[in-house]
Amino acid sequence: MFRVRRVTTTRAGGVSRPPFATFNLGDHVGDDPAAVAANRRRLATATGLDVDGIVWMNQTHSTRVELVDHGGQTVDATDGVVTTTPSLGLAVVTADCVPVLLADVRHGVIAAVHAGRVGAAGGIVARAVQVMVDVGARAEDISALLGPAVSGRNYEVPAEMADEVERALPGSRTTTGRGTPGLDLRAGIAAQLRTLGITAIDVDPRCTVEDATLFSHRRDAPTGRLASVIWLEPAQ
């Protein structure tokens, strides 16, 4: 049996300069690479994970999920990582998309998933669950955290797009605060998880567009990226 740890950062506590101020953890947004590296070292220290104990992704809005067993790497062209290795952190970076952190503490399997509109509708979360099950997890033992993301009241899209995503990810279509068609990806992902037999689902209520302590691409582009990290520790 293990204990799961989940951490989501805010904008505060880093060294990046505007418009990435200050705790930007994305290395693909135009920030100074030295600042991003320093911020990642600060994250590793704060979590108790070694700098080489975190796996990062080069996210591309794909449905690719990779099984990993060591840190100090950035997995290319992938949007989900799964591990059975204790004390190995899995990181996902976001600034409106949904960070999905999954854990089966009974069987020692975790996943971190980047679920934007394209990936979520394409089935990235279900694919990650399947990879977890393939390496020993059981759906009924998986818990999920859906981290800070743009809320449905602020995610306006064309009606055709809302309908398209709703067909692929039922429960996603909504109405924005302006009364226009919108998407609530966290609602759609939660509904999908329930169809997969996962019922322990927590949703962070924060909206990245509304909360100035969080990065939001829709609000501030160009801007930095938050990190959501998950890892397993042996139960005491």
**C-alpha–C-alpha distance, residues 156 and 204, integer Å:** 20
**C-alpha–C-alpha distance, residues 221 and 225, integer Å:** 11
Tens-digit pLDDT string for the chain (236 aa): 899 999 999 999 999 999 999 999 999 999 999 999 999 999 999 999 988 999 999 999 999 999 999 999 999 999 999 999 999 999 999 999 999 999 999 999 999 999 999 999 999 999 999 999 999 999 999 999 999 999 999 999 999 999 999 999 999 999 999 999 999 999 999 999 999 999 999 999 999 999 999 999 999 999 999 999 999 998 76
Report which secondary-structure segment, H or E, holds 229.
strand 226-234
pLDDT at residue 236, rounded to an integer: 67
Q: Which residues contact 161 (CB under 8 A, 6 or more apart)?
A: 117, 181, 183
Going by C-alpha positions, the residue among 145, 149, 109 that lies closest to residue 129 is: 109
pLDDT at residue 58, rounded to an integer: 97
pLDDT at residue 235, rounded to an integer: 79
Per-residue pLDDT tens for 96-151? 999 999 999 999 999 999 999 999 999 999 999 999 999 999 999 999 999 999 99
pLDDT at residue 51, rounded to an integer: 85
pLDDT at residue 50, rounded to an integer: 87
Q: What is the pTM of this model?
A: 0.97
Q: Which domains does the chain have, with CATH numbers?
A: 2-234 (3.60.140.10)
